[in-house]
Structure 1
Amino acid sequence: MANQNKPRQASNPTQNAANNLKSGASSSTPARSNPTSSASSSTGNGSRKMTPRQEAARKRAQQRRRTQLLVTGAIVIVVAAALIILGISLSQPVNFNNIPATITTDAVPFQLGPSDAKVTVEEYADYQCPYCALFHSQSQPQFISDYITTNKGVKFIFKPFPFIDQNKGNRESHTTVEAAYCAADQKRFWDYDNALYDNQKPENSGFWTYDHLKALAKALQLDTNSFNSCLDSGKYKNQASNDATAAQTRGVTGTPTFFINNQMINYTDYNSLKTAIESAIASTK
């Protein structure tokens, strides 16, 4: 893998590692009522024929049940069709249970691991970056297993660097960051982060509109009223721009870029990251 600390050229969409990691959304077929099933008057001994009022009530109840089934089935079909049209798939997320996302005012929005950890690993990433998606799918789960869930005194901070959409006539790098902040408001950042990478499209393709970002939130069963309001209001629009400026001020020119205890490292693959982390851990003892 090329050194991502150098100025980055727009990558070939075929390099998009996330395209190999999709899993299709599925839906169940709505149950269908049997139109021929109805209670009928009996002529057997001991049977009682329904009164006209009882028969009318029975038919109304039956119609209500049919209507409910049809409405439920229609909703399932519409949601499934929408996800197919939008091209959204949801894979099994990495298990981040009991590791909450946190938003602070000092540009440290998303963190895993204890705040008092002696070793801090920071990743600058753009949700359109195929190499970031590659790290997310192939290396991040191993990193979490090696250092976060095992309490090795390491914390991980994700720092957005939305830059791939610069001068491209769209804001996809920025809007995905805004959406991630809105998901974090509901403590669902890591689920949304995972889904953004799993559904990554070619750079600047115009896919990540507000409507598609909202559809992703709905598929993840977020509170869509709150999420949509957050996104539509532009609550984190300035924050996304500030994140890009902060990264550039720090000397970040490409993604993914990693810092360990405030030192930029020469990241090439997970082994290079692990070597740098182990060295930092050793220096704290």
Structure 2
Amino acid sequence: MQRRHLLAAGLSAAAVSPLAWLAAPGAWAQAAAELGTPSLPTPGFRRMKVGEAEVIALNDGIARRPLGEEFVKNAPLAEVRELLARQGLPTGHIDIPFTAFLVLSGGRRILMDTGFGEHGGPSTGRLLGQLAAAGFQPGDIDTVLISHYHGDHIQGLRRKDGSLVYPRAQVLVPEPEHAFWMDEAAMNARPEAQRGGFQLARRVFSELPAGQLQRFTPGSELAPGLRSVAAFGHTPGHTLFELQSAGQTFVYVADLTNVPALFARNPDWAVSFDMDAEAARRVRRATLQRVVETQALVGGYHFPFPAFGRIAAQGEGYAFQPA
């Protein structure tokens, strides 16, 4: 697990592949049938107190995909499998959970990311059911925060007929993320097969009612006790959210690390979906070290359910310890 594997060729490849994948935005949710069906958590929601606030994890489902050479772009597959085996995890496939978070604070109901909605595979699209089980309806949500524009985070904003799932909610998005995916020149400069992510962003955001879509500068406060944190690299405007209440802290790290058993344990490895792998590596190391030092509670979109826990230093990397 040495940084000798951070080769320029590998990082360059990592920067290209997400756009090709996003040409078929639902593909990430499709489990490989021959690998079996992932076990979904029951119940699929979990409550945690953060000072005077409450945070609820809402599992949208799990996708299972084969583990191939392409998943970790800058490490040999044999090393990837070895690291998984040492943790007692399967080495032939990867299970990817999808978990959004609902923050209840100061009378506000703030949803962080939205899942696949009706647009994913058969083992996804569970978020609204978890929301109902936790005692809430879509109309109860007053704010939706978007960490970045990959399809598994934004498609849950709309139903297949185009109607809004959260009709009363203000939708807050990072300015640099919105600017990138809405850039016509950037989209047209890419091959047709790589334009799917840009087209998806337009379908989700371009026709939101006037005043409902609000762009913010990463680093700004979005609500009392809740601020955004720039974490660019996974995407051009990838943003985290930090809640502070009564001396306690919760950090939603979004896609800072996809599969913590791999990318927290070895923060220098690049998942194929990191669009700027070197920038993602730097921010991953800095953020993981900061949450270790502050002992903050963390929540990760792709962390194993309940997706809450702590980060601890381990060897040359870090370990996720579920709550």
Shared fold per TM-score greater than 0.5: no
Higher helix share: 1
After TM superposition, the score normalised by the length of structure 1 is 0.28
Asked which structure has the greater CA Rg, the reply is 1
After TM superposition, the score normalised by the length of structure 2 is 0.26
Higher strand share: 2
